[in-house]
Amino acid sequence: MASVDDQLLHLNTTGCLIRRTQEKGRGVYASRAIPAQTLIEISPVLFFSKEEYAEHGRFTVLDEYTFKWPDGRMALALGLGSLFNHSARPNVSYALDTATESIRYTTVRDIVPGEELCIFYGHKLWFESSETIPRHDPADVSTEGVDDGWGGLSAVEEDSSDPPAPGDPYLEGDPNEIISDEDLPFTRFKLPPEEEELDSIRTVEAWVVDIPEPRHITKLLKWLKQAGLETPDVGHLKRIRKHDNVATLLLATTTTSPAPPLLPADLDLPDPYTLPVPSTQALTQISWKLKSTFWPTLFTPPRKGEAEEWTRGKARWAWEAMQKAVAAAHKARALGELPVAAHIAAPYYAPGDSSGPSAPLSITACDTRQCDAHPLRHAVINVIRHMADFTASTSVDSKPRSLPTPLPDESADAGEERESETEEARNGSNYLLTGLTVFITHEPCIMCSMALIHSRVKEVVYLHPMPKTGGCGGTACLPTLKGINHRFGICQWKADTAAGRDDSLRIDETIDA
C-alpha cells in the first residue's frame, strides 16, 4: 500500500509513483486503485541514430533503457516510460505512436493500490528476471485478464543476431543450391485445381448493356475509360461478349457502381442489367471453359517452373523459424498454457540480395487462452494481431492501436477523416500479411485457418497435424472451400525431422489449436 511518503512522490495525475526495490531498482507503482483500460502515461521519445548509438550509446547505461523504434533508430522513453519494469504477466500494455513519437501506456486490468505496474519487454531478456511466476492456478484465471501478455509489440525481434538453430541440417553448404522436395524438412500439399465444377465458380454481379449497333462499340470502349470504369476488379474479363449476334458490353461490377452507370445519352442504348460474372481469371482449361459460360474470361495458366524452388539457404530459414515456434510452445507450456505457438518469419532473401528490408522483423506468439481467460486467444490469432498491429504502427497513417475503436460517426469531421485515408489504409496493405509465411506448432483450427485467409498470408507450415479439428486438411481445408477469395500454400513438417519428433508438444486431438 502507498505510504504517506509515497504520496509526496506522485509524479502524474493518474496514480503512478516511483519506488525503489532491492531486486529491480526503481519501478512504477500504483498509489491508488486504477481501473482497467486507463491511459496512465504518455512518454515522449528521444532518438539516437543507428550510428550514434553503435559508436556511443551502447557503451553507456542507456543500453539498459533503449529499444528499437520501428524505423530502425534507437529510442529512449522519457517521462515514466523508462521506469516500467518487466513482467511475463504484464498489467500494462503499450502502443508506439509513430505520428507523435511517443508511447502510450494503458492498464490491461484493474490495478489495486500499491501494485507494481509492469510491461512485457519481450522474450529475450538481457538480465535475470526476479519475478517468480507460479504455475498457473485455475482459481486465479479471472484476475489474470492480461490483454497483451505473450508476444506484444515488444515481441518484435530482429532476426540477424540469432545463433544457428540446433541440429540444423541445412547449415553447411551453398545457400543458393536448389533443394529437391524430398530433401525439404516438410511436405508441400498440392491443393486441388481451382473451380473445375460449375457450382464451384465464384462470381460477382456486374452491370452489362446490349449494344444493338456494332459501330458504337469503339466509342463505348473509349467512354468506359473517361467514365473511370476501367477498374482492376474486371481486369480478368473481356469487355465484349458476342452471343447470338448480340454484342454485350461489361460496364462495372455492382461493387464499383451500385447504381446502373449513366450511359452516353446520344447513343440511344437500352437500359443496363446485371449478370453474374467470374470473380477471378481461369487457371486451368476446364475452369476457363466453365467460367466463359458466364462471361468471356482470361486464361492464365501457371508457367512451367512457377512452383517456387527452395534453396538450402531458404530451407535453413524455415528450419530456424520452426525452431522458434517450438521453443515458444515449450515456454508457453511451462507457464501453464497449451503448448501451441506461431512464428511469422521475416521473408527470406538470398545472401547478397539487397532488395530485402534493412531491419527484417519476425514475430512469435503463443496460445494465451488460459492467462487471458479468453476463448479466442489462439496462437495464430495472437500472432496475426501482433504483426498487423506492428505493420499498421509503422505505416504512414499509423494511429495508436490500443485505443478503443470509435463507433462510426456521421459528423462532418468523421467524413473528412475518411476522405484523408491513404491508399494503403483503403486497400489493407497497411495491416495485411501478404507474402508472409507462418510457422505453427500445430495445424491451425478452422477459426485460425479462416483468419489466415483473411490476412492473405502466403503459406502455412505446421508441425503436428490435427485430424479432428484442423482447418488445413484435418477436418476441412479452408483455402479450397467455395467462396473463399484467397488461397495459401500448406506444408506439413516431416515427422522424421528433429522438430517433427518432438512428441512433448502433442495435445489432445479434439482441441482446436
Ligand X SMILES: C[S@@+](CC[C@H](N)C(=O)[O-])C[C@H]1O[C@@H](n2cnc3c(N)ncnc32)[C@H](O)[C@@H]1O
CB 462 within 8 A of CB 493: yes
Site for ligand X (CB under 6 A): which residue of 19, 86, 333, 464? 86
260: how many CB neighbours lie within 10 A of its CB? 15
Residues 6+ away with beta carbon under 8 Å from 12 = 40, 41, 80
Residues 6+ away with beta carbon under 8 Å from 357 = 346
R_g of the chain computed on alpha carbons: 27
Residues 27-56, interacting with ligand X (CB under 6 A): 27
CA–CA distance from 227 to each of 8, 212, 224, 230, 309 (Å)? 69, 21, 5, 8, 43
Taking CB under 6 A as the rule, does residue 123 contact ligand X? no
Stretch that binds ligand X, among 125-133, 287-295, 367-375, 473-481 (CB under 6 A): 125-133
Taking CB under 6 A as the rule, does residue 23 contact ligand X? yes
Of 47 and 349, CB closest to ligand X: 47
Of 64 and 508, CB closest to ligand X: 64
Of 62 and 298, CB closest to ligand X: 62
CA-CA distance, 399 to 393, in Å (whole number)? 6
The H helix count followed by the E strand count for the chain is: 10, 22
H-helix or E-strand containing 226?
helix 216-226
Of 23 and 205, CB closest to ligand X: 23
Taking CB under 6 A as the rule, does residue 129 contact ligand X? yes
Residues 130-169, interacting with ligand X (CB under 6 A): 130-131
Site for ligand X (CB under 6 A): which residue of 43, 85, 106, 362? 85
Stretch that binds ligand X, among 77-85, 219-227, 238-246, 419-427 (CB under 6 A): 77-85
Taking CB under 6 A as the rule, does residue 115 contact ligand X? no
Stretch that binds ligand X, among 17-25, 105-113, 425-433, 455-463 (CB under 6 A): 17-25
Taking CB under 6 A as the rule, does residue 82 contact ligand X? yes
H-helix or E-strand containing 28?
strand 25-30
Burial of 61 per CB tally in 10 Å (0-12, 13-18, 19+): exposed
Stretch that binds ligand X, among 5-13, 82-90, 411-419, 476-484 (CB under 6 A): 82-90
Of 86 and 314, CB closest to ligand X: 86
**If DSSP codes are grouped into helix, strand and coil, which group holds residue 493?**
strand
Taking CB under 6 A as the rule, does residue 78 contact ligand X? no
Stretch that binds ligand X, among 19-27, 260-268, 395-403, 464-472 (CB under 6 A): 19-27
Q: Which residues bind ligand X (CB under 6 A)?
A: 23-27, 64-65, 82-83, 85-86, 127, 129-131
